[in-house]
Amino acid sequence: MLGLLRRIVRSCVVLALVLSGPAMAGSYPERAVTIVVPFEAGGSTDVSARVVAKALAEALHQPVVILNQPGAGGRIGTRRVATSEPDGYTLLWGSGSTLAVAPVLYPDQTYLTTLVPVSLGALQPFVFVTSPATGARNLSDLVAQARAKPGVLNFASAGIGSSNHLLGEILMAATGASFVHVPYKGSVSARDAVISGDAQLMDEVLAPLLAQIRSGQLLPLMVTSETRDSALPHVPTAREAGVPDLSITGFFGLMAPPKTSPEIVTALNAAMKKALASAELRKSFETMSFDVGNGSAEDLSALIIRGRERYGRIVAERKITVN
C-alpha cells in the first residue's frame, strides 16, 4: 500500500511539472506593461496611445501604463525601448516620425532596425493649419504671403526631423514659399505658437488640432488624405490644393525591444487585435478622427519601410541635414 501511495505521489508530481511548463510559458504578462510615448502629453502619439492602452489593459488583464519621455524629436524615448529588456514589459508606441523619418536623418538610428513590429494601431491624415489672424483664407493665400515676404513667416513643427518638419519642407519645395522653420518640443507647443501668432503655419495629424479648428482658433488649409476627411468635409485634400506630393498618411503602431521572443510578440499581437476591435476604442478613435489599424505586424513593417524610402528621397532632394 505504501509503495502504491509513493507511486501515485510521484505520478502527481510529474504531472504537475508537465502541466506547469506550458502554464509558465504562457503566463505573460504577470505585471503591468509600460508603453513609452516619445513625445509630450496631448499630441497625436500620446492621445492615440492612451486610448489603445486602456483597451489593451482589458485584453491583457494587466495594467498598461503610459510613460511620456519626450525629447530629440522622439529619439530619447525610442532609444529607451530599443535598449530595454526584451521581456514584453517595456514597449514603444511608434509613429512615422520616430520609425520612418528619424532613420533617414540621424546616423545614430541604426538600432531602430532591430525593434520588433507588433501591431499597426492607428492611421490619420495630417492637416495644415494657420491662424485666422494671418488673413489667409486658404493655402494659396498663405503661400502668396510667404512668397511676398520670404523668411518672415514662421513654420512650427514638433521638432527637427519630425514628420511635421519634413512635410513642411515638402510644402516649401512644392510651392516655392519660404517659411522659417521653428522647432518646438512637441506638437502641442507648436500648435500653441500658431494660435498665439508666434508662428503662421504648422501641420499635424488631425486629432490634436480638431478642437481648436472647431472653435475657430485655427484655420485648416488642407488635409493630406487622398479623399476629404469626414470631420472636415469642406477642407480640400493636398491634391485638390495643388500639392499632390503631400498625400501622406500618418501611422502609429506598437513596437517591442530587439530580441523579444516570438511567443511574447504573438501574445501582444493577439491582445492588440482584441483591443482594436473593442467598441469603446473604435468610438474614441472615431471621435478623434483616427482610423483603426488592422493589428497587422506585417503592415506596420511595410509602412515603416515605405516611409523610410519616401522620406529618404525628400531628405536627399532638399539636402536636409540636422545636428
Q: What structural domains does the chain harbor?
A: 33-123+249-318 (3.40.190.150), 125-246 (3.40.190.10)
Strands 249-256 vs 90-95: parallel, antiparallel or unpaired:
antiparallel
Cα–Cα distances in angstroms (integers) from residue 121 to residues 166, 244, 269, in the given order: 22, 26, 10
Q: Strand, helix or coil at 209?
A: helix
- Residue-wise pLDDT for 119-174, tens only, equals 999 998 999 999 999 999 999 999 999 999 999 999 999 888 788 888 998 899 88
Q: Are 171 and 318 in contact (CB under 8 A)?
A: no
**pLDDT over 80 (residue 321):** no
- The C-alpha cell at 14 is 510529474
pLDDT number for residue 214? 94
Q: What is the mean pLDDT of residues 60-83?
A: 92
Helix crossing, 262-276 with 279-287: angle to 10°? Answer: 70
* pTM given for the model: 0.81
- Residue-wise pLDDT for 45-64, tens only, equals 999 999 999 999 999 999 99
Q: Are 315 and 166 in contact (CB under 8 A)?
A: yes
Cα–Cα distances in angstroms (integers) from residue 259 to residues 30, 67, 95, 156, 305, in the given order: 19, 22, 21, 37, 20
**pLDDT over 70 (residue 75):** yes
Residue 134's CB is within 10 A of a number of other CB atoms, namely: 16
The stretches of 204-294 forming alpha helices (DSSP H) are 210-215, 262-276, 279-287
What's 236's DSSP letter? P
Give me the residue label for grid cell 492621445: 47
